[in-house]
Amino acid sequence: MINWCKTNTLRILIDAAIFDMDGLLVDSEPHWRAMEQVVFATVGLHLTDDECKQTTGMPILEVVRYWFAKAPWSEEAAAGQTLESLADAITDGVHDRIARLAEPMPGAIETLQFFVSRGIPTAIASASPMSLIEVVVNRLGIRDLLTLWHSATLEARNKPAPDVYLGTARKLHVSPENCVTFEDSGSGLKSAHSAGMHTVAVPAAFEYSDPKFTMADVIIPSLTAFTVDTFSLLQTKDQYS
């Protein structure tokens, strides 16, 4: 889906490709949902897989706050657990599961290789902590395909604020407007769009038609659908009339 008006065509220089991580490069979302179900059950909140999908792309502490606001549990049920400790328990469990079980999303390795083969720097800009990014990089064996990786937890604000994308561009020494970003969540897409970057949305099947993705320059169903033609379209933008 290309949403550009046809007038005068401009050639855009792509200086870097920046990727979200969870659900985009690594098939981690099922592990997040599994751990959310386990940990929330300890406070008496029993979530279905579909309910967990409602918070896809949100920082994990925001997920805990979301469900506490929606279905608050008692101090007795919490048994001394804070919202922060519940978030930490989920994250710790996901660390373990991803280190043992996670696989790359279809087309993830090939898309990274696409940019590396063209001499274009690549980076991860994730809402997850650096410790989890390291686990994913090692699990997928993609260290040599990345210039750097950066976590929104090191910035003032997490996604959907643009901070992590702007910070990643600074670390790459490139201008945000010369970056192309890949995101699978609405929150992440808003972050990259707010940073002024070119955006490729790769939504999961269950929300592919959600209007929140229409702000993207391109929408594809999977990274396997990213091709030379897609890249050429991203490099050619028509000025608005």
Domain spanning 9-27+104-238: CATH 3.40.50.1000? yes
What is the pLDDT at residue 9?
Answer: 56
Question: What percent of the chain has a predicted confidence (pLDDT) above 90?
Answer: 89
**What is 29-101's CATH number?**
1.10.150
Judged against a pLDDT cut of 60, whether residue 51 lies above it is answered with yes
Name the token pair of 164.
Answer: 């992590």
Judged against a pLDDT cut of 70, whether residue 152 lies above it is answered with yes
> Which pLDDT tens digit goes with each residue over 57-100?
888 999 999 999 999 999 999 999 999 999 999 999 999 999 99
* CA dist list (Å): 218 to 117, 181, 183, 195, 226: 22, 10, 11, 16, 10
Distance of alpha carbon 143 from alpha carbon 148, whole angstroms: 9
φ, ψ of residue 229 to 5 degrees: the values are -65, -40
Mean pLDDT of the chain: 92
What is the pLDDT at residue 77?
Answer: 94
Length of the chain: 241
What is the pLDDT at residue 10?
Answer: 62
Helix residue ranges per DSSP H, 15-107: 29-41, 49-53, 60-70, 75-78, 83-101
Question: What percent of the chain has a predicted confidence (pLDDT) above 70?
Answer: 93
Closest CA to 183 of 210, 156, 218: 218
Task: Band the pLDDT of 13: cuts 50, 70, 90.
Answer: confident
- Span(s) in the chain for CATH 1.10.150: 29-101
Judged against a pLDDT cut of 60, whether residue 53 lies above it is answered with yes
What is the pLDDT at residue 237?
Answer: 62
Residues known to be catalytic: 20, 22
What is the pLDDT at residue 41?
Answer: 97
Judged against a pLDDT cut of 80, whether residue 118 lies above it is answered with yes
- Span(s) in the chain for CATH 3.40.50.1000: 9-27+104-238
